Chains A and B, each alone.
Chain A
Amino acid sequence: MSQFAMLVDVSRCIACKSCSVACMQENCLHSSSWIRVRGRELLTDHLIKYYNPQSCRHCADPICLAVCPMGAIQRGNDGLVIHDIERCIGCQVCVDACPYSGMKIMTNGKVGKCSFCSHLLEINKEPACVSVCPVEARIFGEREFLIREAGLRIKNLLSRGIKAHLEGADKESTTVLYLSNNTSRSNWLVP
């Protein structure tokens, strides 16, 4: 079986936060969604603004797994990093360690994170966040396909003067790939 992955396209995110709410609905979370959409804004010679949906990227070499004193985090052969809430003691060391803000502190004091909706994958369904995203800023599929798709999107963005790059495809490999803007828009007008 070829490897599956998820592509998160920051250049397309419209901050509707549907993914974030779908995550809570699917995983029966009262609060503290495993995806949080954060706004970013910076001023160079013009304004750059984008939204960054933050969740676990399911790293090939997860730092959270390395720092967890209880062995509550395991990585499976399918590339998914799974957190065992029964073993978790809520020390939250992983929260600080994760560079992607992927670990969330839940209302019960323990830690929670994206499970990639592995229970849905088992029945051949895509993760809840992917199924709702109205602008295909989150897509699920075979890893090779997604890397090709990301390449096409980067080319397309470049043709409109927007430089973007793909995170997680080679070194620092992750199962959740991120297509991020690394430049500004050329059409911003200031009155």
Chain B
Amino acid sequence: MGLYIRPRSLGIISKPLERDDDLRTSICCLCNGGCGLKVSLDHEGKVQAVFGDRDNPYNKGKICAKPMEIVQTLYGPYRVGHPLRRINGKFERITWEEALKLIAQRYNHYSQENGTGSIVGITSKIGGSYSKLAHSIFSKLTGMANYGTGPICMESELKVRKDIFGNGSASSPLSDVIKSKIMLIVGNNCAQTKAGQFHWISEAKQQGTKVVVIDTRFTETAQMADRFIQIRPGTDTVLGMALLKIIINNNLYDQAFVSEYTNGFEQLAEAVEAFTLKQAADITGVPRNVIEELAEDLAVRKPGMLFEGRGIVCVNNAGASIRAFEDLMAILGNIGKPGAGIISHINNYGNARDLIPKKDVIKPDRKRSATALYQAMEEGEIKMVFIAGNPCVNWPDSRRMTQAIQGLDFVVSHTLFLDDSAMLADIVLPATHWLEEAGVQASVHRVLQWKDQAAATYAESRSGGDLFRQLAKYMGLETSYFPNSPQKAWELERTHNKSIEGITVERLRKTPGGVHFPCPANGQEAERLYESSLFPTPSGRVELARKNNIAIEYINVFDSPGNQGVSPEKYPYLLSTNKVASHYHTICQYSNWAQEMEKQPYVEMHPQTASELGLTDGDPVRLETVTGSLVLPARITFSVPRGYFTTQPYFGLHSPYRQTPVNSLFPVAVDPVGGNFANKNIMCSASAEGRAGQ
């Protein structure tokens, strides 16, 4: 070891934060929890700290670590400040005008030569409401097909819920939980992922709401619950079906609701006969009496709520599980009432209609699924990609995604950081952070909240709202369709979308906590959906069965996409990812504080699995799946079942963590019902790494 000096150690003594009595109000745009924030600026106008907003009725001044960590990423070394162009493998600074001109020229070239389908957007992080609207106008004018957060986050949840109720959004606000008698949390560690809003659940529990957590891991949420039911990975469908079976066979369901407002009850009743309760107990690992007790609890304790998480959505048999649990809530009549319904971070308020006359709308000339995107890039069918996000870390088979993007003719990345995906771009454009952009933010309470721009725009960064309008100009498109400010964008969106017509910026500014949607022109806001028992399905009723008349079809996790045909001898274990409180997507990895909280990713494993592999805590372990392998330190815990590994998915090579993304271990496989990529329950092998004789 050589001598090394820590420059910070030479006399710097920390002093408390300088007081700032002129705090700006904002809304956190990270997890869709919608926590109110107070932002403190230093004398240079830079953000120096973020606090909770005590006037916001939803978080009451409480926040999790993430919005505080974000401050460090704003001015850190990875932040992009200027447009960059790759010349001979190196980035050189160019002006916005040069960058836009180049992109416009290439865009028009590929569009004319190879068709509109030769250009796609991978746009999970496009920005706030202003940028989203400009992006959708741009896509309509050019025929650009986009892949947003859907396939990597909530596609299955959205689709199944839309099939059942006619709307993929949450049916009820999280704040309703204090009115419910039972709260069923399935595959959701909200104590970590929505920590700032978790007080709603802990308050409800203190008031007598029974909190039941179903999960494979003994999570922080499970620790806080009245009842924790540990389930074998990937068997949630069977538990949901067993609960349905008990409730149907014992006539514990809401018969009036079922006969008046639902279709497909017979098919559902037939489908749940696929397993006996004994079989269900054997498959799920949940004792029969526990299943029976939960069914009884759900039947007796009404109203009840359901809060599903990525644990049953980002898996390869998601569609069936989601349908089982949401059908369960429907036949119990737990819908459209205070304290009843489904909580979700999906909160679509509908799209603005008729913004552009039909003559100017161009449809993409090809449609591809998210799985087909890889091949289309590899085979040269796609020439150009517009990236706003970090697909090289958070899309499955990340190595393949990286190579596919590398092979393209032209890549643009509109980004906050020089991350794994931006490093592959031909043009890198600096994006504004959400603290630097005004707009509307939706939350898990089914409200829309307005935030003003809290901090000065960093260096030359521009929002998606400005970028798409300016790019349209260089491309020779009609620019009059684009709004030129966040306020005007919202006004345009509001006046073209009946479900939010009553929500003006002025009203949002005046109402701490925001306005519930839908809220039509008469200004009447609806706290929850379906209170009138009108369901926007084609039949107007809740559809308990799928269109093929099979209500629910359980697929064993080992026979599900991604695991099909994989040798159980070679890959005997299951690999999953799980979330932690200090990270969000791939953003927080650029914060020192987040790194202090989570020094490095690790693999959780049961002590018996560790001893089978000859591992002790902290030993390096090599995990291998059909798509790749990765070495991580072992973390031995009783919180996970035997034969199961789980790690954290946030990290990339171009970050202080310098980690191979764990998503490179997940194959490109989707849930057959809903179309979600799986980043859990994929078969893997494991071995001790780097020791002689092994």
Interface residues of A (CB under 8 A from B): 12, 14-18, 20-22, 24-33, 41, 43, 47, 49-51, 85-86, 107-109, 112, 115, 117, 119-120, 123, 131-136, 156, 160, 185, 187-191
Contact = CB atoms under 8 A, between A and B. Distances in A.
Given A14-B192, A131-B61, A189-B287, A20 B68 contact: no
Interface stretch (B4-12, B454-462, B514-522): B4-12
A86 B197 CA distance: 40
A135 B192 CA distance: 12
A185 B226 CA distance: 10
16 contacts: A12-B224, A17-B597, A18-B63, A18-B195, A21-B69, A31-B593, A32-B596, A33-B593, A51-B220, A85-B13, A132-B51, A132-B52, A132-B62, A136-B199, A189-B230, A191-B284
Contacts of A30: 8, 14, 592
Interface string B32-72: 00000000000000000111100000010111110011010
B243 to A, nearest CB: 16
B62 A133 contact: yes
B48 to A, nearest CB: 9
A185 B227 CA distance: 10
A109 B581 contact: no
Contacts of A51: 220
B547 interface: no
A159 to B, nearest CB: 11
A188 B287 CA distance: 12
Given A31-B592, A191-B284, A21 B597 contact: yes
Interface stretch (B15-23, B115-123, B344-352, B672-680): B15-23
Contact of A21 (B11, B15, B582): B582
B52 A29 contact: no
Contact of A117 (B9, B16, B229): B16
A160 B286 CA distance: 22
A109 B582 CA distance: 26
Given A17-B581, A25-B49, A49-B218, A134 B196 contact: yes
Given A20-B597, A189-B290, A109 B232 contact: no
Interface residues of B, number: 62
Contacts of A32: 596
Interface string B405-430: 00000000000000000000000000
Contacts of B19: 123
B641 to A, nearest CB: 7
A130 B639 CA distance: 28
Interface in B48-100: 49-52, 59, 61-65, 68-69, 71
Contact of A28 (B15, B224, B286): B15
Contact of A187 (B199, B226, B592): B226
A132 B69 CA distance: 13
B582 A107 contact: no
Q: Which of B11, B12, B13, B15 has the most CB of A within 10 A?
A: B13
Contacts, number: 158
| In the complex, the 9 A-B pairs of residues with the closest C-beta atoms, listed nearest first | A191-B285, A16-B195, A21-B65, A14-B191, A108-B9, A16-B581, A134-B62, A28-B14, A14-B220
A47 B607 CA distance: 13
Nearest to A51: B220
Contacts of B275: none
A27 B284 contact: no
Contacts of A190: 230
A47 to B, nearest CB: 5
Given A28-B15, A189-B228, A21 B68 contact: yes
Interface in B566-587: 581-582
Contacts of B63: 18, 132, 134
A18 B65 contact: yes
A49 B17 CA distance: 35
Contacts of B71: 25
A50 B65 contact: no
Contact of B197 (A25, A134, A156): A134
Given A16-B191, A16-B192, A131-B61, A27 B14 contact: yes
B244 to A, nearest CB: 20
Nearest to B12: A108
B335 interface: no
Given A14-B192, A16-B192, A189-B228, 9 more contacts: A14-B581, A16-B191, A16-B581, A18-B63, A25-B68, A27-B14, A134-B198, A188-B228, A191-B641
Contacts of A22: 65, 68
Interface string B589-604: 0001100110000000
Given A85-B13, A189-B286, A24 B593 contact: yes
B230 A191 contact: yes
B533 interface: no
Given A21-B597, A31-B596, A191-B232, A14 B62 contact: no
B108 interface: no
A15 B6 contact: no
Given A187-B226, A191-B286, A134 B195 contact: yes
Nearest to A188: B228
Given A21-B582, A27-B14, A108-B6, A14 B195 contact: yes
A191 to B, nearest CB: 3
Contacts of A86: 13
Contact of B639 (A41, A50, A108, A119): A41
B9 A107 contact: yes
